[in-house]
Amino acid sequence: MTAACLMSTYQPLSLSFARGLGSRLWDQAGREYLDAIAGVAVTGVGHSHPKVVQAISDQAGLLLHSSNLYDIHWQQQLANRLTRLAGMDRAFFNNSGAEANETALKLARLHGWHKGIEQPLVLVMQNAFHGRTLGTLAASDGPAVRLGYGQLPGDFLKLPFGDLRALESAIAEHGPRICAVLLEPIQGESGIHLAPTGYLKALRELCTRRNWLLMLDEIQSGIGRTGRWFACQHEGVVPDVMTLAKGLGNGIPIGACLARGKAAELFTPGSHGSTFGGNPLACRVACTVLEIIEEQGLLANAERQGARLLQRLREALQGHPELLEVRGLGLMIGIELRQVPRDLVQKVAREQGLLINVTRGQTIRLLPPLVIDEAEVEMIVQGLVRALNWR
C-alpha cells in the first residue's frame, strides 16, 4: 500500500521485498520470486553478490566521501576501465542516468557553441526516454511525462527512430543548426525497439562527416545487458559520447558520461561538477561489477540465455491470439500484445512467483539479471505461458 506521505509518482504493487540473492527475491512473508526485471536493468550481477557486499563494506569502513576537491583513486580506476571497454577517452561521473544525459546535453551545447551555432539543435528520436529532469524530459517523447511542466528547453528536433529518409529532410531544413544526435541504440522504456541494422553505422558516418556528436544513451542497454559491454558494439559503432547508469552500480546509484576525441576536451575546470558524483563507494562498487562480469563470463551468458529466452518465448507463445511480436537482443526482451491483460504483473507475481514489467500498456518487458541460468529461462517462459492462459 502506498503511504499517504509519499508523493504519488508511482503506483507500486502491494508487494515488498525483504532480501535478495542472485536472481531471487523474498517478500516480507518469506515467499520466493524469480526476478526477471532486475530492478529495471539494475542488478545485473544479481542481488547481494558476495563480492559487491564485500566491496561496499570494505569501502564503508575506509572512506565514503571526500569530494571532487581531491583525487579519488577508485574514480580514476573506474574511468580507466570504462573508457578502455568502450573505446572512449574520458569519463565524468554522476549519480543517475538523467544526470549522465544532462552531462551529455551540456557537451552538445558546448560543441555547438564552439562551432559558432547560435541556437544549436540536438536530434532525438520519437518514443525516446532519457530521464525526468527538465532537460532530459525535453529530449524524451510522450505527452504524459511532459504534461503540465510548461515550456521545456527547445533545442531538440524529434525524428522517427530508424528512419534515414526523415533524417535527410531534417538536414535539408535545419542542417546548419544541428550539433549532435542523442539516441538509445535499443529503446527500452518504449517497449524494446531495436534500430534497423545499419542505422547506427549510417548515423556514425553522418556525424563524422558533419562534425556532429553521436551521443548514445546506453543507460539501459549497456554493462552487458545485450551480451556485449555496450549495445553499439554489436554494430561496431563507437560514439563520441556515451551515457551509462542502471547496471553500472548493481543498485548503488551511479551514472557516467564517457566522451572521446574533441568531445572529451570540452569541459574545463568549473564548467561542470557534482558533489556526490564519482565518490569512492560508488566507483569501487562499479569496478567490482565490471570485474564480476569478466570473471563469471556474464557477457557470454547474457548472449546465450538471451537468445534462448527469445527463441523459447517465440515457440511457446506462437499462435497466441493477442501476440503481436517477441523481440529483443540479449537479455533485453519485449513481448508486444494487442492488449496486456489488466493486472498481469500482479497476477504473474502472485500465481507464478515471477517478477516482470509492462511498459506503455502493450509490451511485457523482461530484463533478467545477467546471471540467469537455463532452468530460470524456462521458469520465465512457463510462468508467462500459464499467466497468458496459453496451453
Ligand X SMILES: *Cc1c(COP(=O)(O)O)cnc(C)c1O
Catalytic (active-site) positions: 129, 217, 246
Quote the least distance from Cβ 201 to ligand X, whole Å: 20
Query: Rounded CA gap, 364 and 382, in Å?
Result: 15
Q: Does 129 bind ligand X (CB under 6 A)?
A: yes
For residues 170 and 219, which CB has a smaller minimum distance to ligand X in the complex? 219
Q: What are phi and psi of 82, to 5 degrees?
A: -65, -45
Q: Which stretch binds ligand X (CB under 6 A): 77-85, 90-98, 197-205, 284-292?
A: 90-98
Say if residue 107 is exposed, middle or buried (CB neighbours under 10 Å; 0-12, 13-18, 19+).
buried
Q: Which of 35, 155, 184, 336 binds ligand X (CB under 6 A)?
A: 184
Q: Does 383 bind ligand X (CB under 6 A)?
A: no
| Residue in 278, 337, 294 with CA at minimum distance from that of residue 313 | 337
Q: 3-class DSSP state for residue 354?
A: strand
Residues 196-235 contacting ligand X, CB under 6 A: 217, 219-220
For residues 223 and 245, which CB has a smaller minimum distance to ligand X in the complex? 245
Query: Rounded CA gap, 163 and 165, in Å?
Result: 6
Quote the least distance from Cβ 111 to ligand X, whole Å: 20
Query: Rounded CA gap, 323 and 378, in Å?
Result: 19
Please report which helix (H) or strand (E) contains residue 24, including its range: strand 24-27
Q: How far does Cα 301 stand from its chain's mean position? A: 19
Q: Which stretch binds ligand X (CB under 6 A): 128-136, 173-181, 224-232, 275-283?
A: 128-136
Strands 32-35, 354-355: pairing is parallel
Query: Rounded CA gap, 97 and 175, in Å?
Result: 29
Q: Does 159 bind ligand X (CB under 6 A)?
A: no
HSE at residue 58, side-chain half, CA atoms within 13 A, is 12
For residues 96 and 233, which CB has a smaller minimum distance to ligand X in the complex? 96
Q: Which stretch binds ligand X (CB under 6 A): 20-28, 94-102, 104-112, 310-318?
A: 94-102
Q: Which of 38, 98, 252, 292 binds ligand X (CB under 6 A)?
A: 98
Site string for ligand X, 229-258 (x = CB under 6 A): ----------------xx------------
Q: Which stretch binds ligand X (CB under 6 A): 4-12, 74-82, 182-190, 326-334?
A: 182-190
Q: Does 96 bind ligand X (CB under 6 A)?
A: yes
Q: Does 130 bind ligand X (CB under 6 A)?
A: yes
For residues 75 and 96, which CB has a smaller minimum distance to ligand X in the complex? 96
Nearest residue (beta carbon) to ligand X: 97
Query: Rounded CA gap, 126 and 216, in Å?
Result: 15
Q: For residue 30, what is the DSSP state? A: -
Say if residue 5 is exposed, middle or buried (CB neighbours under 10 Å; 0-12, 13-18, 19+).
exposed
**Contact set with ligand X (CB under 6 A):** 96-98, 101, 129-131, 184, 188-189, 217, 219-220, 245-246
